[in-house]
Every structure is written in C-alpha cells, then in structure tokens.
Amino acid sequence: MAQLLAAQTAVELPAARAARLRARVMAHCDDSPYAIVPHRAEDFRPFIPGVKIRPLRVDWEGKTQTSLWRLEPGASIPPHRHTAEEECLIMEGSLIWGGKEYGPGDFLLARPGAHHEEFRSPKGALLMIRSELSQPLAALFAAAAR
C-alpha cells in the first residue's frame, strides 16, 4: 500500500473547480441544519439562448431543484409542460406571459399538468424557480458540479 501511495502524483485543479469540489465534499461533512450558497456571478451556466441558470439546491433523490434564472433582454422560454409543480418568483425585470406583464415580487405557480405558453422578457429578468428536476436541468446541474 505504501508503494502505491508513493507512486501517486498530485493533480493540480483549476481554482474554480477545486472550490466547487471542496464545497461538494464539505456539504456532506457538515452536520449543520443550514446550507449557505454564496453569490458568485460565474456560477450562472448557459441553458438556452439568452438564458443562464445558477443552481442553488438540487435534490437528486426527490427530483426537485431550486435555481436562479437570468434572462437577457429579449430572451424567451419556449412552451413546455409540467409534470410537477413549478414555483417562479420574479426578483428583477419582468416577464410577459398570457398577454400580461409580471414584475418584481410577482409569484407564478404552475400546477402538475399545466402547459406553459412561451413567455418572454423584453427587458430581461432574474427569476428564482423551484421545480421538478427535468432531464435538461439535471444534465446542466450535473455538468456544473464537475
């Protein structure tokens, strides 16, 4: 065993990746009842054109997620269906959905089976979304964890 350990060479990780890895490991070591996710603009990941997402919490077993969505001015979210509830809080900017404009503090709830028409953000927006962990989101969040 000592020979095996002596034969190992250290691998230098990029600082951002090392920090993410450390945070993931520490998240499982901490017995605190709280989780703190510090703000870091670089944690937003491209999702679809004009939309970046920042994972805040992912429950892989329960298949739910909470994330921030940054929509650039003119961005839109294509029509889609929900198999579970989706909660959306508009934090900045606005969305136009169903012919009506919604702004900061507005809360939208899509129930299971709901079909979203396209919604768009002419001025840009920041949303906090809690929803099911769809396949596209799961792929994005798994890549972000690496």
Judged against a pLDDT cut of 90, whether residue 22 lies above it is answered with no
Domains of the chain (ranges; CATH) run 40-145 (2.60.120.10)
H helices within the chain, ranges in order?
A: 2-6, 15-29, 135-145
pLDDT one-digit tens code per residue, 38-79: 777 778 999 999 999 999 999 989 999 999 999 999 999 999
- pTM, two decimals, is 0.75
pLDDT one-digit tens code per residue, 80-115: 888 999 999 999 999 999 899 999 999 999 999 998
Q: What distance in Å separates the CA atoms of residue 52 and residue 128, rounded to the nearest whole number?
A: 12
